[in-house]
Structure 1
Amino acid sequence: MKAVVFDLDNTLFDHTGSATTALRRWVAELGVPPSDELVAEWFVIEDRVYPRWLSGELTHQGQRRARLHEFLPLIGHPVPSAEDAQDEFFERYLRLYRASWTAYPDARRALEVARGNGWRIGVLTNGSTTQQNAKLAATGLAELVDVVCTSESLGVSKPDPLAYQRVCEALGCEPSDVLMIGDNLDLDVLAARAAGLAARHLDRAAGTVLTDLLRVQRARLLHLGPC
């Protein structure tokens, strides 16, 4: 094993927690009582609209506008008619989202363990280059990451095999020498394995800890010996 590649959102970076905090504050500013139901709908809309950007159907800004068109009627708020007004409106949410950015408590330690193992470290994320790099910088993780590959920078997104192969190339490693870790079983584990990487699933709902996954992998390699 020569390198480890992490997913970012909901693996190293707490997107769900950050977005939930931001959304609750945002709807309260709009005069609407925040609720678990509204938070759940926000993520349903995100999961439905965001892939339209990954597929090229919408621009990154366009998927934000589309989310407004679906969400604002749920809280009885009119959607601004002009696109620049929609962008300004969404920016009010983004400011709160950025203010809420946080890494998981085990994220930095996991990167330090990987470094201690002598592995190069990459991040592979289906996100925009500017925002994803900003998350790593804001949470203090950027200094521990060697390579950041986004769907925007690569021109392909997970689960396309090229996404995994290109992050391996950027790390200077063969896929067979790289471990992928992420929270999404389909994108971060099954598709990574299909592309030739080893992969482990981070199931935070089951209490899985990032550092434990790395230690298990390290112990397994030591047990196997040189190959």
Structure 2
Amino acid sequence: MKAVIFDLDNTLFDHTGSAEAAVRAWLPSLGADPSDALVAEWFAIEDRVYPRWLAGELTHQGQRRARLHEFLPLVGHPVPATEPEQDEFFTGYLNLYKSHWSAYPDARPALELAQGNGWRIGVLTNGSTVQQNAKLETIGLAPLVDVVCTTESLGVSKPDPQSYLQTCAHLGVHPAETLMIGDNLALDVEGAQAAGLTARHLNRPAGNLLTDLLPRTWKRYDEVADVLRPRTDADWPTDRDRINQDVVNPHQDR
């Protein structure tokens, strides 16, 4: 491996936590109680509307307006009449979202580990160029990243094979020399593998953090650290012993 590409939202950057905190702080100004149900509706609407921007049906600002059209009636608040008024109204949420931006605790150690290996580091994200770069700057990870590729900068979104191949080209590496890590199995793993990259699934808490409808499995980068860590001669006896043990008892701890 010569490079590693990370997804951003809910991989390095805690989008769900930042957005949840922002919605809870925003709802009282709309005259609504920040209930679990309303926060869940906010994320459900985001999941329905955001893909329409990726598909080219809406502009990035247009998907924000569409979210207001769906959400505000739920809290009994009128939707602003004009698009400029809607854009201004959305900044109430957006400013709170920005104020809660944070990286996962294991994000910087993972980037530093990859950097220590001499690997090129990329970020590939289905997001807007300005906002995604601003996130990396705010959470302090930008200096550790060599290349940031977004839906806007590439003209394609994951899982289009060109999104991974173009990112590899920007990093100056071949797909077969590149590892992709992300929270979305279809976009960050299956899509990357189809394009010829190696991929690892980082399963952050799945779905909505406020319910138990989906598994809430935490996984740190510890499980992929061994992939990133360069081997030394001292490692091989341990590896050989483990291989021999597996041959003797191949089903142990499986």
Q: Which residue of 1 aligns with 2:75?
A: 75
Q: Which residue of 1 aligns with 2:153?
A: 153
| Matching residue's letter, 1:101 | W
Q: Which residue of 1 aligns with 2:104?
A: 104
Q: Which residue of 2 aligns with 1:95?
A: 95
Shift, 1:219, TM fit: 6.6
Q: Distance in 2 between matches of 1:13 and 1:220?
A: 29
| Matching residue's letter, 2:178 | V
Q: Distance in 2 between matches of 1:106 and 1:145?
A: 15
Q: Distance in 1 between matches of 2:3 and 2:58?
A: 33
Please tell me whether the aligned partners of residues 128 and 151 of structure 1 are also in contact (alpha carbons under 8 angstroms): yes
Q: Which residue of 2 aligns with 1:62?
A: 62
Task: Summarize the alignment of residues 33-48 of structure 1 with structure 2, pairs less than 5 Å apart.
Answer: 33-48=33-48
Q: Which residue of 2 aligns with 1:208?
A: 219
**Aligned sequence identity (%):** 69
Structure 2 unaligned blocks of 5 or more: 206-216, 240-254
Q: Which residue of 1 aligns with 2:173?
A: 173
Q: Distance in 2 between matches of 1:151 and 1:71?
A: 25
SS of the residue 1:8 aligns to: coil
Residues 169-188 of structure 1, C-alpha deviation per residue, up to 9 Å, x if partnerless? 00000000000000000000
Q: Distance in 2 between matches of 1:132 and 1:220?
A: 33
Q: Which residue of 2 aligns with 1:130?
A: 130
SS of the residue 2:176 aligns to: helix
SS of the residue 1:124 aligns to: strand
Residues 29-63 of structure 1, C-alpha deviation per residue, up to 9 Å, x if partnerless? 22211011111111111010001111111000000
Please tell me whether the aligned partners of residues 31 and 75 of structure 2 are also in contact (alpha carbons under 8 angstroms): no
Q: Distance in 2 between matches of 1:53 and 1:6?
A: 22
Q: Which residue of 1 aligns with 2:211?
A: none
Please tell me whether the aligned partners of residues 49 and 63 of structure 1 are also in contact (alpha carbons under 8 angstroms): yes
Q: Which residue of 2 aligns with 1:8?
A: 8
Task: Report how many aligned residue pairs link the two structures.
Answer: 224
Q: Distance in 2 between matches of 1:29 and 1:202?
A: 36
Give the CA RMSD over aligned residues.
1.6
| Matching residue's letter, 1:191 | G
Please tell me whether the aligned partners of residues 113 and 211 of structure 1 are also in contact (alpha carbons under 8 angstroms): no
Q: Which runs of 4+ in 1 moved over 6 A?
A: 219-224
Please tell me whether the aligned partners of residues 8 and 124 of structure 1 are also in contact (alpha carbons under 8 angstroms): yes
More helix by percentage:
1
Compared CA separation, residues 220 and 198, structure 1 to 2 (3 A)? farther
Q: Distance in 1 between matches of 2:102 and 2:89?
A: 23
Please tell me whether the aligned partners of residues 113 and 228 of structure 2 are also in contact (alpha carbons under 8 angstroms): no
Q: Distance in 2 between matches of 1:210 and 1:55?
A: 31
Q: Which residue of 2 aligns with 1:198?
A: 198
Q: Which residue of 2 aligns with 1:51?
A: 51
Shift, 1:217, TM fit: 4.8
Q: Distance in 2 between matches of 1:124 and 1:116?
A: 20
Q: Which residue of 2 aligns with 1:117?
A: 117
Q: Distance in 2 between matches of 1:87 and 1:42?
A: 17
Shift, 1:207, TM fit: 2.3
